[in-house]
């Protein structure tokens, strides 16, 4: 080979090696750029948490839940590029107030009179209800997804909206319960009257511990969206329920003039479900007229581990693993509800100046 050509080739080869090494050196000095995603809190999805205090499934009160999450009970989930607020709670654990049931639930801070204006809306889907329970117990396999609660007197509940699905069924039921505001000082005779929205009402139970009624034909499946609107105005509670592919349902209930003033007014459903266990009270004539009320929203698990011998309507005898939350989550013994949207409105003249908290908040 010509010496001049060889020298040129050598020079080019050495230059190439030098440039390659320089390039590697430069690359090693530049850190890889990482794409960081902004953390999404529930308050980023639904911006209304200033109006509420949050109770978690371990019985704790987290207060106003802005920029807050708790990965066992309250957080966000993304599905098909859409964010949801997740409320989750096991069958058993530390409960809040006087309840036997766990909840991850919002309690409205302000209280309001039933004769003025208040409204709550929510769009949601129930993702899980307890895998165990006693089918003869009306509350088994159910979760409450919205409420109106009294802040006074017996602190009863003029509204509880339920979702319930028996094991092995694809479709579950949506129904709402009205609890009487019991006359007198003794509240032990209180009872609920239940109205079906889609599927069955609260009173439809199994004939044996693991024997279930027929699956409801017009029910709602887990993961299927539904919406509710609760409007209280001039003493009337107006309810609207919507879900794609299902008939829209509306109801009205008077909250200030009872229809259950005497024992003769006790409906057949109550005679069959509550009277046999001694819950046979009557309601004060003006119902909830003299009390301030507040909304609740979230996941109030109605399936618990207490023996049905204690109360055949509310004690489910479900699996609780001694209160171990993670074990309950692993085998499906929990309730989980996802909310996509929600809103709240209370007219200024409806607001009570009483304290923010009651024992059942």
Per-residue pLDDT tens for 88-102? Answer: 999 998 776 668 899
Q: pLDDT, tens digit, for every residue of 10-29?
A: 444 444 444 454 454 444 45
Share of the chain above pLDDT 70, in %: 86
Average pLDDT over residues 34-52: 89
Averaged over 339-343, what is the pLDDT? 98
More confident residue, 180 or 21: 180
Q: Which of 273, 332, 280 is nearest to 303 (CA)?
A: 332
Residue 234 lies in a domain: yes
Whole-number pLDDT of residue 169: 98
Distance of CA 324 to the CA centre of its chain: 20
Res 97: pLDDT: 66
Query: How high is the pLDDT of residue 141?
Result: 98
Which CATH number do you get for residue 106? Answer: 2.60.120.200
Amino acid 354: pLDDT: 54
User: What is residue 94's predicted lDDT score, i.e. its pLDDT?
Assistant: 78
The pair of structure tokens assigned to 355 is 């304290």
Residue in the structure block whose two tokens are 């010496």: 3
101-155 pLDDT, tens per residue?
999 999 999 999 999 999 999 999 999 999 999 999 999 999 999 999 999 999 9
Integer Cα distance of 102 and 92 in angstroms: 6
Please report the pLDDT score of residue 350 as a whole number.
Answer: 78
What pLDDT, on the 0 to 100 scale, is given for residue 38? 86
Residue with tokens 């993702």, as numbered in its chain: 127
| Confidence band of 35 (pLDDT split at 50, 70, 90) | low
* Cα–Cα distance for residue pair 299/321, rounded to 1 Å: 20
Chain segment 267-276, per-residue pLDDT in tens: 999 999 999 9
DSSP 265: G
Question: Quick check: 357 pLDDT over 70?
Answer: no
Whether residue 116 is contained in a domain is answered as yes
Query: Domain of 286?
Result: 42-350
Mean pLDDT over each residue of the chain, to the nearest integer: 90
Return the number of other C-beta atoms located less than 10 Å from residue 297's C-beta.
29
Distance CA 12, CA 25 (A): 20
Residues pairing with 142 in the sheet? 164
**pLDDT of res. 15:** 46
Q: Is the pLDDT of residue 353 over 90?
A: no
In a domain, 310, yes or no: yes
Instruction: Give the tokens for residue 163.
Output: 């979702």
Nearest 5°: the CA angle 33, 42, 140 is 130
Residue 16 covered by a domain? no
258 in a structural domain:
yes
Whether 66 is in a domain gets the answer: yes
Q: With contact defined as beta carbons under 8 Å apart, do 256 and 286 qualify? A: yes
CA 178 centroid distance within chain: 18
How many domains are contained in the chain?
Answer: 1
10 assigned to some structural domain: no
pLDDT value of residue 9 = 44
- Count of CA atoms in the C-beta half-sphere (13 A) of 158: 34
Q: HEC states along 230-249?
A: EEEECCEEEEEEECCCCCCE
CA atoms lying within 13 Å on the CB side of residue 313: 18
Higher pLDDT, 308 or 35: 308
- Residue 44 pLDDT > 80: yes
Distant-in-sequence contacts of 66-75, Cβ < 8 A, 24+ apart: 66/41, 67/41, 67/43, 68/41, 68/42, 68/43, 69/41, 69/42, 72/325, 73/104, 74/42, 74/104, 75/42
pLDDT digits (tens, 9 = 90+) for 296-336: 999 999 999 999 999 999 999 999 999 999 999 999 999 99
In the block, tokens 């990482």 appear at 34
Q: Does position 289 have pLDDT exceeding 80, yes or no?
A: yes
Locate tokens 């009320």: which residue? 293
pLDDT score for 107: 98
Q: Which of 247, 174, 231, 125 is nearest to 239 (CA)?
A: 231
- Whole-model pTM? 0.89
Give me the pLDDT at residue 361, please: 53
Instruction: Using the predicted structure, report yes or no on whether residue 246 has a pLDDT greater than 70.
Output: yes
Average pLDDT over residues 208-218: 97
Domain assignment present for residue 33? The answer is: no
The pLDDT value given to residue 33: 53
pLDDT grade for 36, boundaries at 50, 70 and 90: low
Cβ count near 40 (within 10 Å): 15
């Amino acid at each position: 080979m010509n010496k001049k050509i060889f020298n040129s080739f050598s020079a080019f080869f050495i230059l190439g090696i030098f440039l390659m090494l320089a390039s590697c050196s430069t690359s090693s000095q530049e850190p890889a750029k990482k794409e960081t995603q902004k953390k999404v809190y529930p308050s980023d999805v639904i911006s209304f948490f200033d109006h509420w205090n949050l109770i978690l499934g371990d019985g704790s009160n987290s207060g106003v839940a802005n920029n807050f999450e708790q990965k066992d009970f309250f957080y966000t989930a993304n599905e098909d590029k859409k964010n949801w607020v997740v409320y989750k709670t096991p069958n058993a654990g530390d409960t809040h107030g006087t309840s036997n049931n766990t909840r991850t639930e919002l309690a409205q801070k302000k209280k309001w009179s039933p004769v003025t204006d208040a409204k709550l809306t929510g769009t949601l889907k129930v993702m899980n209800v307890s895998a165990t329970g006693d089918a003869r117990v009306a509350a088994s396999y159910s979760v409450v997804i919205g409420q109106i609660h009294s802040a006074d007197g017996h602190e009863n509940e003029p509204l509880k909206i339920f979702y319930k699905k028996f094991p092995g069924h694809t479709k579950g039921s949506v129904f709402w319960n009205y609890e009487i505001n019991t006359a007198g000082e003794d509240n032990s005779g209180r009872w609920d009257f239940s109205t079906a929205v889609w599927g069955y009402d609260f009173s439809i139970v199994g004939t044996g511990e693991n024997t279930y009624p027929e699956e409801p034909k017009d029910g709602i499946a887990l993961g299927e969206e539904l919406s509710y609107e609760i409007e209280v105005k001039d003493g009337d509670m107006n309810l609207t329920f919507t879900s794609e592919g299902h008939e829209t349902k509306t109801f009205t209930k008077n909250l200030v003039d009872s229809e259950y003033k005497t024992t003769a007014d006790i409906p057949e459903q109550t005679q069959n479900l509550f009277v046999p266990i001694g819950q046979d009270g009557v309601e004060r004539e003006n119902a909830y007229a003299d009390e301030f009320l507040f909304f609740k929203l979230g996941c109030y698990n109605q399936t618990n581990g207490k023996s049905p011998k204690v109360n055949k309507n509310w004690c489910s005898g479900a699996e609780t693993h001694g209160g171990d939350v993670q074990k309950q989550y692993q085998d499906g013994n929990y309730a989980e509800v996802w909310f996509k949207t929600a809103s709240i409105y209370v007219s200024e003249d409806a607001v009570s100046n009483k304290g923010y908290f009651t024992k059942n908040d």
